Structure 1
Amino acid sequence: TDSLNALLSYMSTAGITTFVASTRIIIAPGYKFHIVSGMVTNFHQPQSTLLLLVSAFIGKKDDWKTMYGHALENGYRFLSYGDAQLLL
């Protein structure tokens, strides 16, 4: 994009090799996905931003609770080395 090219050009001219920034963007329920139609992700901890991502992706209020209830009842493992879920 033009903005990215302008930033890279500026960094090159100024001799800057590292760019550090932060954002306040968060994907939460109500967010409309435009590019992806599927996602593979782990089962995440309650009140985490990753759980907000899952909730936003499936789109229906509280459907994530049904999915996570099934996972808990059936002994799925949670967190980084746990079981994964395919969301479509």
Structure 2
Amino acid sequence: MSTAKRDMREVMRDEMIMRDRIVAILQEGSKTVPEVSEALGAPEYETVYWMMAMRRYGMVEEIGRPDIDGYFKYEFREQEEESHE
């Protein structure tokens, strides 16, 4: 893997593709950002960006307390459908 950081515009373009991959990874069980990053084969700074976007929209949430290294585990949250009465 290259050590050069990609431009954030490139990282942002990959968000929708990576969202589906992250969901699949988290459906196997809760994981920390480094664990998700490793499973994706992506740099942690990119994984943080994608997961925090998902957190903002309620797709993932941290659970429990941080581990000894300060990382929270995250889990996928099923989206509730809005009722239109």
Common fold: TM-score over 0.5: no
What is the TM-score when the length of structure 1 is the normalising length?
0.32
What is the TM-score when the length of structure 2 is the normalising length?
0.33
* Structure 1 or 2: more helix by fraction: 2
Q: Which has the higher contact order (CA 8 A, sep 6+)?
A: 1
